[in-house]
Every structure is written in C-alpha cells, then in structure tokens.
C-alpha cells in the first residue's frame, strides 16, 4: 500500500512544530523528522491506511521518556508509543500527528530473579531477544503471539498466542509495570510479589490500555521453567464439530496441553502448499505437551484416546525436535501460507474469541458467511481458549471491497459477541475494532472513557485508539 499522510483530525500543527524544535535542540539525532522514519513508524501490517507522526523520538532511557512526555504534555501534542510495529489494529498510527516514541533502544534486561521465576525488562526488548538472554537460566518467557513483538507492545495489547491455554496471556504473566504518566513522572504499579491486594489493580489497567494511559517503561514478568520434555502431534478430523469436541474434552479433563491449535480445511491446504506438508484437507488439531518425560507421555496418551473417541485420525506424537519444529514452523507460517493462496491480494488479519462450547458454531457460521460472500479467508485458532483468526484476502483496488470486508468482519465480531464472546481475543481495539466495541462494552465504555479522561485529560497518549 502506498505511504500516504492520512490524518483524520490533525491537531495544532504549530504546537507540534514547537515540540519538535524543543526536542531537536535538547536531543539532536534522537529526534527524526524525515519521511522515511515517519513512514516506518506508521502502520504497515494492516489494511488500514498509514497515518504518519510528525516526528519519531528514539528514547534511550526513562529520563528521555519523561522529558518527551513533559514537553508534549505542556503543548498538548499527541504521543504514540512504538515497539516493533507488529500490532494489527492500527495501534501505532498517528491520526492526529504528534510524536512517535520508539522504545526499541530501551531493550535491556534489568534483572532476572531465577529463584522467583521473574525478571524485569525494558519495554523495547522483543520476546525472542528475551528468550535468547534467558537461555542459560533454565527459564523462558512463554507468551508467543507469532510475531517477534516487543514486551511493552505485547503488554499494551494484552497479547497472548499459541500457548496461552497453558501459560496464560500477558494479563497473567505481567507482575508489574512502571509507566510514565501524563504528568511526566514514573509510577510503579506493583512489586515482585506473586500476588497483592494493595489497592486497585493498576498493573492490569496498563496491560491492554494500548498506550492510551501512559508509556510503559519497564515490565516485570513471570517466567516459566524450560520443560524437561516437549512433545507434539497432530490429528485430523472429518468435521469442525469433531475437532472442537476433542478440544472441549481435553480442557474439561484438565489435560495441561501447552498448545492446541485448530486449522480449517482451507488453512491446511494453504500450509500444505506453502510448507510442503501432506495433511488431509480437513480440520486439523496441532498439539504440544510440556513436562517431564512421564508427564508428556501420559498427556499425549490421554489426548490420543480423546481424539479416537471424537472420530479423529490416529494421534501420532513425537518428542523429536526436528519433526516438531517443522510442524510448528508450518503453523507459524500460516499467515504467509494464506497470503500465498492469492499473492496479489491484501490480507486483513482479525480475531474473535468465544466460549469453547460455541467455537464450532462460530467457525461454521463464519465459514457460511465466507462462502456466501465468495471470499478467501482461512481459519486458524487457539482452540483451547476459543480464540480464532481469519486472514481475509481482498483486492484493495476493487471499488467497495474494503467496505464489504469491513461489513463482513463486523458481522464476525457481532456473531462472537452474541455467543458470549468478544470482538478481539488478543489483537486489541486500536482503530480497527472501534466500530464494534461500543456494541460489546455498552455502559462499560463510559467507565473506560472516564478513566482515560481522569488520567490523561488532554488526550495526549495515543489519541484515536480504543475510543
């Protein structure tokens, strides 16, 4: 998509110019105003048009963050926090211009407390960098949203991913954050204790706030022990219902699967072609088990029985690392496999989440809608959580196509909400889901607005997102 300088409501350009001049003088090269920098910091991974900031500020310390917030607050100029730019709903777009605060240079590990299974990191470190750093400690950071996102960004969108069914989402693994708030000062939401009842849960208020309440400057994370053994396997099912029944039984029996992913027939077809696999073109479950040798054998055996009972193909599991990696690489490449179905089309990635008892219904009804619309949209899901994704392929140049796809994704969100679910399990609201959250949240949205207004009265932090 061409980089355009689209803004919905540009804010006071004089104020932005003043802030840029102050920051330039104080910070020199840390502030960049060139089009290439600004374009890099507007959104490029969604169907939404990029909306460029007026400048990009590369923060290197908490003091830098405080300084930029103080200047922007004084002049009421927007601040858009930026990690790696992998968010999917326009979270890093700058619809009112302002300063993109790039945190990628704040990527240090501040402390690792191996005995307590926790660490504290700067927000710009990516999950892969963190896991590389941790390699020799016997510990790992389990949340895996696919992209090599920054920890600050993952906290801000309440990210999760393939192994949330076992290890939880960012809300479960973030013990505390520090953040610079609208007055330019840093607060600490909590300390390292595993639990606390000391006042409002500000930690989880910042987790998922999408940068609208402040800039996260460090994140204290729970870590997990690297499992002694990892085993994985697949089972193919004739119908979505059968596959979903196997998921429900697995969860109900309390088998602690680390991953249980659902691919629909079209997604399997795409992955077969892209990753040179030969699974039957039918609903497929991919599983992974973590634990001691005995534990993974036990769990795999229990799942094999469930798969057989639900009509699945024989569940063959392996602890062989190479085979397992090949399988999960194919899963991680599902996005590119889907794009490769029609390389000239654009892809819109969307997600919803429903109670698992409604997963088969929600996917089936969505597939009917896909067929009726005549669009290509493979389904891949974190089935253990009832969370699934569509990659909707579309021709952005076809008149009315974006509107048609938006109407389709609105129906998807409304379908999920009607089933007791949510319009987004892990991508966040950003700009893309604003049109559906009002229906989902009702009066709760008024409370959120009141909180936003109380903590950021001039709306400097990531304006135009969530609300």
Q: Which of residues 188-247 bind its own copies (CB under 8 A)?
A: 188-202, 204-205, 207-209, 224-225, 227
Helices 359-373, 240-252: crossing angle, 10 deg rounding? 160
What number of residues does the chain have? 467
Fill in the per-residue mask, 354 to 373: x = in contact with its own copies (CB under 8 A), - = not in contact. Answer: xxxx----------------
Q: Report how far apart, in Å, the C-alpha atoms of 4 and of each of 44, 94, 368 are.
A: 11, 12, 36
In this complex, which beta carbon is closest to its own copies, that of residue 48 or of residue 354?
354
Binding test (CB under 8 A) with its own copies, winner from 146, 428, 432, 463: 428
We find the least distance from the C-beta atom of residue 356 to its own copies, in angstroms, to be: 6
Closest to its own copies by CB, 407 or 454: 454
Q: Is 181 in the site for its own copies (CB under 8 A)?
A: yes
Taking CB under 8 A as the rule, does residue 445 contact its own copies? yes
Q: Judged by CB, which is closer to its own copies: 80, or 119?
A: 119
* Rounded least distance, CB 127 to its own copies, Å: 17
Whether residue 120 contacts residue 218, with contact meaning beta carbons closer than 8 Å, is answered with yes
Each residue 36-75 as x (binds its own copies by CB under 8 A) or -, in order, gives: ----------------------------------------
Answer for which of 54, 102, 288, 440 binds its own copies (CB under 8 A) is: 440
Q: Where are the alpha helices (DSSP H) in 28-88?
A: 35-40, 62-75
Among the residue ranges 48-56, 273-281, 385-393, 404-412, the one whose residues contact its own copies (CB under 8 A)? 385-393
DSSP state for residue 282 in the 8-state scheme: S
- Residue from 101, 248, 266, 286 touching its own copies (CB under 8 A): that is 248
What is the rounded CA–CA span in Å between residue 100 and residue 82? 6
Question: Binding to its own copies by residue 256, rule CB under 8 A?
Answer: yes
Site string for its own copies, 324-353 (x = CB under 8 A): -----------------------------x
433 binds its own copies (CB under 8 A): yes
Any residues with CB less than 8 A from the CB of 399 and at least 6 apart, and which?
none
Check residue 253 for interaction with its own copies (CB under 8 A): yes
- Closest separation between CB of residue 212 and its own copies, Å? 8
Q: How many helices (H) and strands (E) does the chain have?
A: 17, 18
CA dihedral over 394, 412, 384, 211, signed as positive or negative:
positive
Q: Does 451 bind its own copies (CB under 8 A)?
A: yes
Q: Which is nearer to its own copies, 270 or 379 (CB)?
A: 379
Sites for its own copies among residues 95-124 (CB under 8 A): 113-118
As a whole number of Å, the CA-based R_g of the chain is 22
Stretch that binds its own copies, among 3-11, 13-21, 75-83, 248-256 (CB under 8 A): 248-256
136 binding its own copies? (CB under 8 A): no
Given a contact cutoff of 8 angstroms between Cβ atoms, the answer to whether 127 and 149 are in contact is yes
Cβ-based burial of 334 (10 A; exposed 0-12, middle 13-18, buried ≥19): buried
C-beta closer to its own copies: residue 46 or 424: 424
Asked if 462 contacts 429 with a C-beta cutoff of 8 angstroms, the reply is no
Interface with its own copies in residues 280-319 (CB under 8 A): 291-292, 294-295, 298
Structural contact between residues 97 and 10, judged by C-beta atoms closer than 8 angstroms: yes
Give kind and range of the element (H or E) at residue 16. Answer: helix 13-27
Q: Are strands 109-113 and 118-121 parallel, antiparallel or unpaired?
A: antiparallel
Q: With CB under 8 A as the contact rule, which of the stretches 269-277, 324-332, 389-397, 438-446 interacts with its own copies?
A: 438-446
Task: Write out the binding residues for its own copies, residues 387-416 only, by CB under 8 A.
Answer: 387, 416
| Alpha carbons 327 and 316: distance in angstroms, whole number | 13
Binding footprint of its own copies, residue count (CB under 8 A): 90
* CA-CA-CA-CA dihedral for 308, 313, 314, 318, to nearest 10: -120
CA distances from 281 to 236, 260, 370 (A): 9, 18, 18
Q: Which of 97, 142, 421, 432 binds its own copies (CB under 8 A)?
A: 421
Q: Six-digit token pair at 439?
A: 């229906």
Cβ–Cβ under 8 Å, residues 103 and 83: yes
CB of 194 to its own copies, least distance (A): 5
- Closest to its own copies by CB, 333 vs 410, is 410
- When the beta carbons of 154 and 393 are compared against its own copies, the nearer one is 154
């Amino acid at each position: 998509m061409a980089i355009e300088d689209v803004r919905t409501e540009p804010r006071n350009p004089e104020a932005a110019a003043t802030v840029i001049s102050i920051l330039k003088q104080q910070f020199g090269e840390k502030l960049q105003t060139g089009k290439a920098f600004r374009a890099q910091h507007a959104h490029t991974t969604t169907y939404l048009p990029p909306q460029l900031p007026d400048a990009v500020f590369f923060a290197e310390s908490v003091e830098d963050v405080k300084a930029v917030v103080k200047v922007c607050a004084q002049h009421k100029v927007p601040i858009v926090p930026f990690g790696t730019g992998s968010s999917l709903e326009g979270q890093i777009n700058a619809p009112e211009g302002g300063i993109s605060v790039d945190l990628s240079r704040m990527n240090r590990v501040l402390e690792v407390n191996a005995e307590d299974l926790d660490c504290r990191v700067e927000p710009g470190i990516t999950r892969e960098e963190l896991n590389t750093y941790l390699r020799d400690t016997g510990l790992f950071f389990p949340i895996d949203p696919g992209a090599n996102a920054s920890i600050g960004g993952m906290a801000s969108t309440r990210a999760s991913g393939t192994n949330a069914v076992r290890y939880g989402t960012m809300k479960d693994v973030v013990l505390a954050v520090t953040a610079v708030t609208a007055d330019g000062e840093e607060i600490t939401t909590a300390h390292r204790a595993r639990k606390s009842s000391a006042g409002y849960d500000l930690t989880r208020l910042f987790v998922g706030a999408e940068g609208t309440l402040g800039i996260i400057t460090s994140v204290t994370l729970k870590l997990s022990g690297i499992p002694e053994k990892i085993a994985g396997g697949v089972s193919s099912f004739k119908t979505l219902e059968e596959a979903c029944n196997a998921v429900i039984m697995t969860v109900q029996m309390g088998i602690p699967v680390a991953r249980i992913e659902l691919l629909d027939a079209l997604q399997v077809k795409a992955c077969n072609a892209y990753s040179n696999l030969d699974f039957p073109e039918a609903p497929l479950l991919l599983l992974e088990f973590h634990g001691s040798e005995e534990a993974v054998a036990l769990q795999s055996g229990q799942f094999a029985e469930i798969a057989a009972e639900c009509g699945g193909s024989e569940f063959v599991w392996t602890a062989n690392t190479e085979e397992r990696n090949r399988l999960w690489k194919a899963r991680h490449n599902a996005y590119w496999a889907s794009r490769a179905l029609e390389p000239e089309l654009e892809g819109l990635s969307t997600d919803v989440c429903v109670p698992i008892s409604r997963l088969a219904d929600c996917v089936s009804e969505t597939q009917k809608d896909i067929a009726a619309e005549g669009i290509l949209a493979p389904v891949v899901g974190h089935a253990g959580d009832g969370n699934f994704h569509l990659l909707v392929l579309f021709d952005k140049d076809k008149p009315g196509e974006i509107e048609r796809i938006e109407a389709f994704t609105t129906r998807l969100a409304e379908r999920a909400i009607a089933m007791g679910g949510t319009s987004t399990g892990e991508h966040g609201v950003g700009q893309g889901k604003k049109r559906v959250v009002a229906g989902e949240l009702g009066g709760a949205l008024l409370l959120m607005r009141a909180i936003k207004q109380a903590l950021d009265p001039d709306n400097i932090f990531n304006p135009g997102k969530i609300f």
